[in-house]
Amino acid sequence: CSGYSLLRDPRHNKGLAFTDKERDAHYLLGLLPPSVPSQELQVKKLMNIIRQYQVPLQKYMYMMDLQERNERLFYKLLIDHVEEMLPIVYTPTVGEACQKYGSIFSRPQGLYISLKEKGRILEVLRNWPEKNIQVIVVTDGQRILGLGDLGCQGMGIPVGKLSLYTALGGVRPSACLPITIDVGTNNEKLLDDEFYIGLRQRRATGQEYDELLHEFMTAVKQNYGERVLVQFEDFANHNAFDLLAKYGTTHLVFNDDIQGTAAVVLSGLMAALKLLGGTLADHRFLFLGAGEAGTGIAELIALEISKQTQMPLDEARKNIWLVDSKGLIVESRKESLQHFKKPWAHDHEPVETLLEAVNDIKPTVLIGTSGVGRTFTQEVVEAMASFNEKPLILALSNPTSQSECTAEQAYTWTNGRAIYASGSPFPPVEYEGQTYVPGQSNNAYIFPGLGLGLIMSGTIRVHDDMLLAASEALAAQVTQENLDNGQIYPPFTNIRKISAHIAANVAAKAYELGLATRLPRPKDLVAYAESCMYSPSYRNYR
């Protein structure tokens, strides 16, 4: 193809890094200045530019622009500077990007399937240029992070998630497909916004919604086969649980908000046990928030306890308590509870506030999945510290503004005794001459490796045991040195190595359960996982 179009093709463009020989062979002579920098030097230059922007959203827009211009350089930069760039391409900045997506929207990324396309979804999928899709991340934009209904502007989430599948899990960019299903929005601000990019109508629900989703899931399987992974992302609670239950038996589906969050948190708990002592069954857990994340985590903890102790699942649930907006979930409320909360209604008199619940139940672990910021008040945290030598406090709501308490608050209010992790990143905290490094309980630890494990083994269904396998693999990567700093997660710098171990553990479980179709099973799964991973280094063109 002509040199000019090569420079405009993000998959093949190398900018100034085309060698003299390549410039000669591909009609690029004179189209570029004479300098031929290495890819490393290009990364250095771009990092200098990015660091000059003061506003995170500007850094995000620069990164999106780079992705559209030079794909390999985008991933090289993201992989080499993962700790610095992750909060830009993902939470917390991606949340702001979704809120303003209509105003900053330049080039469409991914596929938009709206109610207008009902009856023609297969045709829409066939309009996408890549045929060999391995992972789809799909949202309907109804509950973006802790920011609510952002309608069609939720597309920032699938785009961001899939860039992490590639950067952290090594799935080829051409095998990733971001999709937004637009059934309208109930967000009045967006409906009145002249720059809103989606359908200007209130959300379709009930049968109309179910039919569109069913047509979508059927078309995906028809077009891409049995082994394409569909990750549901940022759906509202009721739909998230229903979709997972409905399609979990017929498709390879995974809900990151329910299952990914759960696997990451369980892994943090497994690692924390090395600091706290005892087994999971010896601890008492209290959640603030009983939506997708809260009940998903609770269920996975109960599953692991029941596996370790052979006690029935119902029995394992008894050490796990949840507080929602109406107070502690107890037996007397059972009639009025949504179905996914019912298993957590235990025998106890009604309790209205989180503080009372903490004092009554005396949990060793406090987990925030409420989506509401500053709800772990000083009284609550001090109460946790009064009956626990090392209170474990996980403030998981995103973005940073919705975090239940900050790292600094957790360490200060517990006199430096807390073990703390959050959903969005907080900087290290100096307290009385000691530096505490808060962990980030970020789903990006789990889903890229989990996805790679499912893809490389050709798995056709997700089983809960695969989530447990992912949690165990992540916890095993936490070193004694990490624990000494109070970190219950390994640093993100080695994330590709971590993802390869997670992928290997997940694939091993898939082969063991007879759900893997890629035969024969590779002997060394870690080495195989590493060999499957996409490298962002430039190719040489002949």
Query: Which residues are CB-contacts of 52 (< 8 A; sequence separation ≥ 6)?
Result: none
pLDDT over 80 (residue 1): no
CA-based nearest residue to 417, from 430, 403, 439, 436: 436
Count CB-CB contacts under 10 A for residue 12. 18
- Mean pLDDT along residues 13-19: 98
> Interior CA angle at 494 toward 489 and 500, to 5°?
95
**Does an H or E element contain 292, and which?**
helix 292-309
**HSE-up of residue 424 (Cα within 13 Å, Cβ side):** 23
CA-based nearest residue to 289, from 216, 413, 373: 373
Contact 140, 154 (CB under 8 A): yes
CA-based nearest residue to 115, from 181, 159, 71, 65: 181
What pLDDT score does 476 carry?
98
Tokens (6 digits) for 42: 């290009």
**Is 252 strand, coil or helix?**
strand
What pLDDT score does 73 carry?
98
Question: pLDDT tens across 22-39, in order?
Answer: 999 999 999 999 999 999
Residues in the chain, how many?
A: 542
pLDDT over 90 (residue 400): no
- Mean pLDDT along residues 361-377: 97
CA-based nearest residue to 507, from 461, 446, 466: 466
What pLDDT score does 482 carry?
93
Q: Which residue's structure tokens are 């399937």?
A: 113
State residue 434 phi and psi, 5-degree precision: -115, 145
- DSSP-assigned beta bridge partners for residue 330: 346
Q: How far apart are CA 110 and CA 177, in angstroms?
A: 6
**HSE-up of residue 17 (Cα within 13 Å, Cβ side):** 19
- Of 14, 59, 75, 90, the catalytic one is 90
What pLDDT score does 24 carry?
96
Q: How far apart are CA 84 and CA 435, in angstroms?
A: 20
- Mean pLDDT along residues 514-538: 98
Q: How far apart are CA 32 and CA 36, in angstroms?
A: 9
Could you check whether the bond before residue 520 is cis, i.e. omega within 30 degrees of 0?
Answer: yes
**Does an H or E element contain 429, and which?**
strand 429-431
- DSSP-assigned beta bridge partners for residue 253: 230
Q: Which residue's structure tokens are 């957790």?
A: 410
Residue 90 annotated in active site? yes
pLDDT over 90 (residue 41): yes
Question: pLDDT tens across 202-220, in order?
Answer: 999 999 999 999 999 999 9
Q: Which residue positions form the known binding site? A: 143, 233-234, 257, 398, 442
- Mean pLDDT along residues 79-85: 96
Question: pLDDT tens across 272-311, in order?
Answer: 999 999 999 999 999 999 999 999 999 999 999 999 999 9
Question: pLDDT tens across 174-194, in order?
Answer: 999 999 999 999 999 999 999
CA-based nearest residue to 268, from 61, 474, 113: 474
CA-based nearest residue to 293, from 235, 336, 230: 235
For every residue of 52-117, DSSP letters joined together read: H--SHHHHHHHHHHHHHH-HHHHHHHHHHTHHHHHHHHSTTHHHHHHHTHHHH--S--SEEEEGGG
Tokens (6 digits) for 47: 């990092």
Q: Which residue positions form the known binding site for a divalent metal cation? A: 233-234, 257
- Strand 392-395 with 365-368, pairing: parallel
Residue 307 annotated in active site? no
Count CB-CB contacts under 10 A for residue 360. 14
- DSSP-assigned beta bridge partners for residue 139: 180
- Of 14, 59, 76, 161, the catalytic one is 161
**Is 518 strand, coil or helix?**
coil
Contact 376, 368 (CB under 8 A): yes
Contact 56, 100 (CB under 8 A): no
Count CB-CB contacts under 10 A for residue 200. 12
pLDDT over 90 (residue 124): yes
